[in-house]
A and B are shown apart, each in its own frame.
Chain A
Amino acid sequence: AQKVTQAQTEISVVEKEDVTLDCVYETRDTTYYLFWYKQPPSGELVFLIRRNSFDEQNEISGRYSWNFQKSTSSFNFTITASQVVDSAVYFCALSERYTGRRALTFGSGTRLQVQP
């Protein structure tokens, strides 16, 4: 069965520090998709990135970067030079192409607090 593990429950950093949020997944499907979503204090879920299992290239978007490593089943998220506005709960999620689990399976989330 599919599973997403975010072992870090809460991380606290000071502004301008770099921070990495870990995500480890389990799946038996050969084709799958990984996502990161951000949930700020206001409560909505904001899509950040989607990565398919065939594409192991790392991605950078501004201060955000993602490291996908199939060999370790990990899809980690790094925020460079963190800012107070980055304070939120971040969720990693997985969906599968062929084994029927097309909806998202979420990890338990990592709460990031960025102190000024």
Chain B
Amino acid sequence: DSGVTQTPKHLITATGQRVTLRCSPRSGDLSVYWYQQSLDQGLQFLIQYYNGEERAKGNILERFSAQQFPDLHSELNLSSLELGDSALYFCASSESTGGGTDTQYFGPGTRLTVL
């Protein structure tokens, strides 16, 4: 158990809908990262927050957004969902700002299925 929690574990929804994925980092970790794992794209970095502020952006679509709250939990919002958004979404956390100086620990993931 990494100490990172993600809810829900599974999510099934329809095209055009909006969903919110939630992540709680390990106790003491200030950084939260979101990654998407799909069959065709592999594991891709979406976005990072550090202590409530956006720190880095990866291949995140404009339809997707995220935020980190004062209690350090984070939410990833996916809107106008398309079939191709079906994937496993991981949250990871680390102690500081990343850059490899600290290790990212991953949550169990949320499997999103868009029908």
Contacts and interface: CB of A to CB of B under 8 A. Distances in A.
Given A95-B100, A97-B101, A102-B48, A44 B2 contact: yes
A105 interface: yes
B106 A43 contact: no
Contacts of B2: 44, 46-47
A60 interface: no
> Top 8 A-B pairs ranked by shortest CB distance?
A33-B100, A45-B106, A102-B98, A95-B100, A103-B45, A102-B99, A106-B43, A44-B108
A47 B105 contact: yes
B77 interface: no
Contacts of A104: 33, 35, 43, 45, 92, 104
B26 to A, nearest CB: 12
Contact of A43 (B44, B104, B108): B108
Contact of B97 (A52, A102, A105, A108): A102
B45 A105 contact: yes
Contacts of B105: 47
27 contacts: A31-B100, A32-B100, A43-B108, A43-B111, A44-B2, A44-B107, A44-B109, A46-B106, A47-B2, A47-B104, A52-B100, A91-B43, A95-B98, A95-B99, A97-B100, A97-B101, A102-B48, A102-B97, A102-B98, A102-B99, A103-B98, A104-B43, A104-B45, A106-B42, A106-B43, A106-B44, A109-B42
A96 B109 contact: no
